[in-house]
Amino acid sequence: MSFRYLGNKTKLSEWIVGEISKIIPVGSKVADPMCGTASVSLALALAGYSVTAADALAFPVIHAKCRLLIKQPPAFKAFGGYNKVINWLQSIPPKEGYFFNEFGDAGSPANGRAPRLYFSAFNAARIDGIRESIANLAKSETINELEHSLLLHSLILSTNKVANISGTYGYFLKELSKNAQQAISFEPLKFETTPGNHSVLRASIEEHASKLRAEAVYLDPPYTKRQYAGNYHILETLALEDEPIAEGDGGLRPWKEQASDFCYRRFAAKAFRNTLERLNTPHVFISYSQDGQVNEDELLSIFSDFGRVTIHQQSYNRYRSNNRAKDGNLLERLYHIHRY
Ligand SMILES: C[S@@+](CC[C@H](N)C(=O)[O-])C[C@H]1O[C@@H](n2cnc3c(N)ncnc32)[C@H](O)[C@@H]1O
């Protein structure tokens, strides 16, 4: 299953959880309140921790619910099983609706702008048909809440595969790429039977840091100025099942109210301090890149106000023009604060 997501820790999750498990006994509760794709949440759950995952945006919450809370294929009683639902998703007819008009290459955006090439016209219409069908199932209570999340999770993952973008949904490519010309398709997903008791919620760290009850918190905040709410607007719209105004040439949903302070050079340090002041957990682990909005000295000075700080690092093969480790790779940092 592939996630196209800025700062996705899939490749680093084993290392991160390995470092955490040297300090926090397996079986304890660990929170991942900026969970994104939930890759670290899942790795923690697989290692035997009970995980509380959260994110400020809606679509990461859907990923986390499906990856943590669904431990085997749901019954989908009305369909006669999970595999039948996949066939049903495949067979839903296209419909020329909101996605077709706002995000398809033959659309006509409501604000009069040129068609947006996020998807082929065919895929955009398929997405419209599928969204409407999923919403109807939920409305008629033919599916339960987790089944509903699973259908949206599948739609988001399949949409990612045919999106005509280079990495994020900040803008679309000028010509339809090979992937974008493929028909959107669905396949059964794999579920992990993990031992812990997990929970998932949608909240900003500012809202719920003080309420988190866990032995440790893993923080993975944005470290560049790229706002997730704007760069993944289409996934947020799929998760929220709404039809917001699509603004400007790029058709972004209004996102400024969801802007993260961690993305602003002038607010990021304060955001770290506010978060750490509110957390009550004895241990805090933080992933942060060497080239983030807050420089290393400032970061260390903030962290050391809250406890004893140790740094763990791993070289990581990610394209960057600077900050390379000796072997040519970037150094990924994991800070550990053992609170006073
Ligand atoms: C670097 S990504 C996390 C990546 C994740 N560890 C993974 O492996 O996919 C940062 C996440 O923080 C979320 N975020 C940003 N500001 C936030 C805030 N104030 N409260 C909660 N989540 C926030 C973003 O929506 C994004 O999903």
| pLDDT tens figures, 191-212 | 999 999 999 999 999 999 999 9
pLDDT tens digits for range 229-273 = 999 999 999 999 999 999 999 999 999 999 999 999 999 999 999
Name the nearest CA neighbour of 168 among 36, 6, 318, 34.
6
* Local confidence band at 86 (pLDDT 50, 70, 90 cut-offs): very high
Residues 177 and 288 in one domain: no
Count CB atoms within 10 A of the CB of residue 89: 21
Specify the residue with its C-alpha closest to ligand 1, atom 1. 7
Q: What tokens appear for 126 in the block? A: 């398929």
8-state DSSP, 110 = T
Q: Which of 260, 262, 286 to mutate to test the pocket of ligand 1 (most atoms within 8 A of CB)?
A: 260
Domain that residue 51 falls in: 1-70+198-222+260-340
Higher per-residue confidence, 6 vs 329: 6
* Local confidence band at 314 (pLDDT 50, 70, 90 cut-offs): confident
Q: How far is the CA of 191 from the centre of ligand 1 (A)?
A: 23
Task: Give yes or no for a contact between 276 and 306, defined as CB atoms under 8 angstroms apart.
Answer: yes
Residues 184 and 207 in one domain: no
pLDDT tens digits for range 118-153 = 999 999 999 999 999 999 999 999 999 999 999 999
Work out which ligand 1 atom sits closest to the CA atom of 271: 19
Cα–Cα distance for residue pair 84/185, rounded to 1 Å: 14
Residues 3 and 108 in one domain: no
Residues 210 and 333 in one domain: yes
Cα–Cα distance for residue pair 239/85, rounded to 1 Å: 19
Name the nearest CA neighbour of 36 among 187, 166, 206, 219.
219
Alpha helix positions (H), the chain: 13-21, 39-47, 58-64, 82-91, 98-103, 121-139, 145-162, 178-181, 205-208, 228-231, 233-240, 265-278, 296-303
Residues 272 and 332 in one domain: yes
What local confidence, expressed as pLDDT, does residue 320 receive? 43
Task: Give yes or no for a contact between 238 and 92, defined as CB atoms under 8 angstroms apart.
Answer: no
Kindly give the pairing relationship between strand 330-339 and strand 307-316.
antiparallel
Q: How far is the CA of 33 from the centre of ligand 1 (A)?
A: 8
Residues 246 and 283 in one domain: no
* Local confidence band at 332 (pLDDT 50, 70, 90 cut-offs): confident
Cα–Cα distance for residue pair 34/208, rounded to 1 Å: 11
The number of residues making up the chain comes to 340
Q: Is the dihedral of CA 214, 339, 314, 322 positive or negative?
A: positive
* Pocket, ligand 1, Cβ cutoff 6 A: 5, 7-9, 33-37, 39-40, 55-57, 60, 204-206, 220-222, 228, 260, 262
What local confidence, expressed as pLDDT, does residue 317 receive? 66
Residues 24 and 78 in one domain: no
Q: How far is the CA of 34 from the centre of ligand 1 (A)?
A: 4
Q: How far is the CA of 17 from the centre of ligand 1 (A)?
A: 17
Q: Which of 204, 220, 264 to mutate to test the pocket of ligand 1 (most atoms within 8 A of CB)?
A: 220
Residues 202 and 285 in one domain: yes
Mean pLDDT of the chain: 94
Task: Flag the least confident range among 72-86, 287-301, 320-334.
Answer: 320-334
Residues 34 and 81 in one domain: no
* Local confidence band at 319 (pLDDT 50, 70, 90 cut-offs): very low
Reduce the DSSP state of residue 133 to 3 states and report it: helix
Residues 93 and 109 in one domain: yes
Count: domains in the chain: 2
**What's the burial of 282, exposed, middle or buried (CB within 10 Å: 0-12/13-18/19+)?**
middle
pLDDT exceeds 50 at position 46: yes
Work out which ligand 1 atom sits closest to the CA atom of 32: 6
Residues 212 and 292 in one domain: yes
Residues 210 and 332 in one domain: yes
Q: Which of 52, 66, 211, 228 to mutate to test the pocket of ligand 1 (most atoms within 8 A of CB)?
A: 228
Q: How far is the CA of 111 from the centre of ligand 1 (A)?
A: 31
